[in-house]
A and B are shown apart, each in its own frame.
Chain A
């Protein structure tokens, strides 16, 4: 229990720090509004140019809801872990972090929970409320509960991916290159920029075997389900759980091996 308190202290410190940044919050909300507006008009004109109102099984409305929420998820999930790790490696600060009385992976994760929760409250929740008020298209029922479970799994998967990519920074100084490769691949194959339904067959197949789908597409599909039965959501949650465990093990293993290599080389 005291271990939990230790972690929660990190969460609280993160929240306070987050609030301390006065204008930042306002800027962020404002920025999201602009960003979402652009998405709205872009897809509106795309659908307006189409002869049929339904394209690839999606209407303009459902596409928009999907993309808006995907953006909101992206905003609270992107914690710049790769940058942080890369910078810590370069400045040598990582040595200090490694001697802390907690596992580096957990330390980093829990110190991010404060900002993540704040971001969730300041970006996702308002976006969700606005979308719901405007469209009334998101069912408010048991799906919300499943969504919470699913989003927690998504955060874990996303963190594992980030941590794994961040570990590469132990080998190379090119943080920018490493991070951008991760980012563009995740954004494309998770369906965060274009719904997966629009993908041509070949690319859709590639996306379906990659774990990125479990970060955005999974929680979003659950959220948009109308009073789903457990058997409807179970396959998605199972897949997410599979990736969460798998990537957890992979990222921990990769980190340990890399660390050993680095300490052996005395770098």
Chain B
């Protein structure tokens, strides 16, 4: 008996459907979370407006181009928000010893742990991101072709891999350090800055945000493919490969941490 991709996909969908069903029975909580999510995005958008209402362009990027990056980053964050939400509880589970209970299933530990929670309110953010992107796309007069849409989808998935990778690695730090919440919180806050073009930073930090904390891959590099098709750097084209690599590495770190945790005899 082997458990391949289709097995995991089937299990995930089944858990997801059940989870959504049970969420519907706690409607008040669901609505409050949804309102919270929408409010977050509205405030985010208002802040964005305030900042750029005083300036017509930043670093050679027009208001609408910035808006494109903004929408793109929201979309790229969604998979992390929806599918890896249980990472936020990882710290508590490790701290009070509950994590052990996830270790006895004959399926992938990371998958099993993350599949437990699907954060549906992340979809609200996704909608907000799509709307912003479509608006900016329209304003910028970008062509709507089959190819450009395919490109957008592929690079949005790529971008989301980077975000998920960072969050995984950040969450996994709780296996080694006691107050890892700060690491996760910091990573989560960094995503706020993913929407700005990496060119605003000096070379040192450009390097840092490209290779060490790859927030430049969440909106900037992938968006270049659509926004500046005539000047796409190599990094943009190979970003899908780097994204997969990043995600795989973060997964390995997470799993190594889990193994280490079990070894501490708690």
A residues lining the B interface (CB < 8 Å): 20-24, 27-28, 31, 34-35, 37-38, 41-42, 44-46, 48-50, 55-56, 172-174, 176-181, 184-185, 187-188, 193-194, 198-200, 203
B34 partner residues in chain A, CB cutoff 8 A: 177
Closest to A188 in B: B43
Q: B97 within 8 Å of A by Cβ?
A: no
CB distance from B24 to the nearest CB of A (A): 14
Closest to B197 in A: A45
Q: Name 6 interchain pairs, CB-CB below 8 A, sorted by A.
A: A21-B179, A34-B190, A41-B202, A49-B56, A172-B29, A188-B46
Q: B251 within 8 Å of A by Cβ?
A: no
The 4 closest A-B CB pairs, nearest first, are A24-B179, A177-B36, A177-B32, A31-B186
| Inter-subunit contact B180/A45 (CB<8 Å) | no
Q: Would A45 and B200 be within 8 Å (CB), given that A55-B54, A194-B51 are in contact? A: yes
| Inter-subunit contact A31/B182 (CB<8 Å) | yes
Q: B26 within 8 Å of A by Cβ?
A: yes
| Inter-subunit contact A46/B51 (CB<8 Å) | yes
Q: B98 within 8 Å of A by Cβ?
A: no
Contact with A along B35-50 (1 / 0, CB 8 A): 1110110011011001
Q: B210 within 8 Å of A by Cβ?
A: no
CB distance from B257 to the nearest CB of A (A): 14
B177 partner residues in chain A, CB cutoff 8 A: 21-24, 27
B112 partner residues in chain A, CB cutoff 8 A: none
Residues 161 to 196 of chain B near chain A (Cβ within 8 Å): 173, 176-180, 182-183, 186, 189-190, 193, 196
| Inter-subunit contact B35/A24 (CB<8 Å) | no
Q: Would A46 and B182 be within 8 Å (CB), given that A172-B29, A174-B32 are in contact? A: no
CA distance A236 to B39 in the complex (A): 29
